[in-house]
Amino acid sequence: MTTIADIKRLLTEKKASCRELTQRYLDAAAQTNPVLNAYITLTAEAALDAADAVDKKLQSGAQLSPLEGIPFVLKDNISTKGIRTTCASRMLENYVPIFDADVWESLKGQNAVMIGKGNMDEFAMGSTCENSYFGGSRNPHNTEHVAGGSSGGVASAVAGGLAVYGIGSDTGGSIRMPASFCGLVGLKPTYGAVSRRGLIAYGSSLDQIGPITTCVEDAALVFDAICRKDPGDMTSRGAEPVSGKLTGNVKGLKIGIAKEFFEGLPDSIGKALDNAVSLYKKLGAEVVSLDFPMLKYVLPTYYILACAEASSNLGRYDGLRYGYRTDDFNDLNDFICRTRSEGFGPEVRRRILLGTYVLSAGYYDAYYNKAQLLRRSIVVEFAKVFTGCDVLLTPTVPVTALRFGADMTPVEMYQTDILTCSANIAGLPAVSVPCGFDEKGLPIGLQLIGGKFREDIILNTALAFERETSGAFCKDSGMGVTL
C-alpha cells in the first residue's frame, strides 16, 4: 500500500509532478469508483489547483509541509465551502456549505490534495455503509463484502488505492470498524483533540474526527496536522503532536487484557489476537489481566445517548431553510412531516424516533438520565483500568467484513459496535491496526485504547506491532494507483 512517505519521496526527488500524481488518482477514482462506490463527489478542480500550488512551491526550492501534495479523501459529513456535502442523505443531496470545517481549513492551508468526498452511512448512522442514499461502498479486498461504517467510503478509497489517506468521523466506531474491515489503521482521537466545527453532528458528545491510513506513522502525521485548538469549537482543546515521539519500543509497557472483550469471538479473530498478545510479550511488554464488568452496559448506554443527541441535532432539517423539501403537502405540519419522512432513510428515522422516545416526558428519567449515570460509571471503570495498565488491548470488531446485503436486523447490527463505542462514551483515544486475516482472507483488526490525550502511547504500541510483523497484515488490494 502507498504511504505518505512514498508520495513525498516522488515529489521531492522530482520523479513526478504533483499534478501528474493527482491526475493519476483522479483517473483511478473515475475508473474504479463505479465498482467500489467509495466517493460521492470527485473534486478534480480543487485537487488540481492544490497540486499546481505544490508544484510551484517545489520549483522554488521551498520545503513541503508533511501533508502537502498528498492525495486524500474527506468524509462527506465534513463541510467544504463551495463543494457539495451530502451526509449521504437525500435530505442534503444538493447542499453546498458556505464555510469550511476547521479540519478542511487546516488541510487546505497545507495544500493537501482532496480527491473527493467519501461515501458513508446516512448521517453517520450505521456499521456497514449500506445506509447511504447513494448506495453502499464495497470492500476492495472482496467486493462481495462491505467496507464497514460509517466511514466506509473513506476506508474503501484508501484500501482501494484511490487516496493515500482519509479523514473520517467516529461516533461509536465509525473510523475503527471500516479500518478493521479494510485492513487499515484507524485512529479515533481523544474527544476535543480535533475540532468538530464543520462536522455535521450526529452525537455531539461522542463525535470525533480522525484519520484512516495505510500505516501507523501516517496516522500520526495526519493527527499532528489536524489536532490544533479551535476557538470556534467550545469543546476543542487541541493536542500535542505525536509523530516525533514514536519509537516502536514497548519494553516494560503494561498491556491490559479484559476477558469481557474476548467472549464469544470467532476462532480466527481469537487466534489473531492471541498471536498479537504473544508478540507483545516477546517485545518485552507486560500483559496484565483485568476485569471490565461495565462492558455489558456499554451498548444500551451508547444507543440511548447517541439517539437522544441525534433526535436533537437532526431537528433542524425541516425543509424550511435548506435541504430536501416535499412538493405535496396540505399544511405546515404536513409539510414538515412529509419532508422528514421522505428526506431521511429508514435507519435515520429509527434513531430519531428512539431518541425522541427516551427524551419524552415520563421516559427521560427511566432512560436518558440512567444512561448518563451509567456513562459516568463507565468513565470511572476506565480510570480504574488505567491504574493497572498503560494500554487496553481488545479486538476492534467481533466479526470480519459482513457480506454485502446480509440484511441483519437493527439489533444484530448494533451489536457489532460493542467493542468500539466504550471509547466514545469515555472520550478516550483508540486505534485499530491490522493483525491478521480470517479463513476468507478478510482483514482482522486489533484495538488499543489509551488514557485521555495519550495518542502517543497507543500509536507507539501499534507501531511496535506493525514493525515486528513488517506490515504483513496491510495487504494491497491490487486496485487503484500503484507506485
> Given the C-alpha cell 463525535, which residue does it identify?
207
> Given the C-alpha cell 467481533, which residue does it identify?
398
Chain-centroid distance of CA 305 in Å reads 19
d(CA 274, CA 136): 33
No. of helices (H) and no. of strands (E), the chain: 15, 13
Catalytic option among 156, 169, 174, 422: 174
Q: Does residue 174 have an active-site annotation?
A: yes
> Backbone dihedral region of 262: left (phi > 0), alpha (psi from -120 to 50 degrees) or beta?
alpha
Residues in the chain: 483
| Sign of the dihedral through C-alpha 60, 66, 70, 75 | negative
d(CA 79, CA 403): 31
108-136 residues labelled b (16+ CB within 10 A) or e (exposed): bebbbbbbbbbbbbbbbbbbbbbbbbbeb
Q: Does residue 268 have an active-site annotation?
A: no
- With 0-12 / 13-18 / 19 or more C-beta atoms within 10 angstroms meaning exposed / middle / buried, residue 409 is exposed
With the CA atoms of 126, 129, 132 and 135 taken in that order, what torsion angle do they form, in degrees rounded to the nearest 10? -150
**Is the peptide bond between 60 and the residue preceding it cis, with omega within 30 degrees of 0?**
no
Q: Does residue 75 have an active-site annotation?
A: yes
Element (H, E) at 166: strand 165-170
Three-state DSSP at 186 gives strand
Tell me how many degrees the CA angle 434-440-441 measures, rounded to the nearest 5: 35
Catalytic option among 8, 57, 75, 452: 75
- Bridge partners of 168, per DSSP, are 210
Tell me how many degrees the CA angle 106-32-92 measures, rounded to the nearest 5: 55
Catalytic option among 17, 79, 137, 150: 150
Is 199:85 a contact under the CB 8 Å cutoff?
A: no
| Sign of the dihedral through C-alpha 363, 364, 368, 373 | negative
Residues with catalytic function: 75, 150, 174
